[in-house]
Amino acid sequence: MNPSQSIWDGLRRWFAPRPARLFKAPLQVLNVTRGTVLATQMEPAHTGATRRKGLLGRDGLTPGGGLWIAPCESVHTFFMRFAIDLVYLDRKNQIKKVRSSVGPWRMSACFAAHSVLELPAGTVRATRTEAGDALEIGPATEESGAA
């Protein structure tokens, strides 16, 4: 293997999602800073196919639902039928940026982010979620509404 290929492979491994952070659905998202629950039925999108599809083809998100896209630093809502809230996270699940009620045919980015949560519109406002808050993402429990 030549040196440039070795460097490229090392960079790909460095920026790849960490296996320990990848969970199976459903997930629960807690805002540790505010003591609120952002989602109880979050779906992970950590493969190329699930990240590309995102929320396309859906008519909306149920309360407590959402999509966690990783790695991801920008999203679009082209061809979507509903507005969403966006929460950009770093690798430690600290919120870097929040966007509320992003309607169809929009783009949003946060180049300091590693992943993004797509939530039902109004979730950010209802939970008082702000940049700088710490989130905890893990398997949903039966008490959180997971069936």
Do β-strands 84-89 and 115-120 pair in parallel, antiparallel, or remain unpaired? antiparallel
Q: Which structural domains are found in the chain, ordered by start?
A: 17-140 (2.60.120.1140)
Give percent above pLDDT 70 in the chain: 87
Comparing CA positions, the residue from 70, 66, 69 lying closest to residue 120 is 66
Task: Kindly report, residue by residue over 83-140, the tens digit of the pLDDT.
Answer: 999 999 999 999 999 999 999 999 999 999 999 999 999 999 999 999 999 999 999 8
- pLDDT of 74 > 60? The answer is yes
Model pTM?
Answer: 0.81
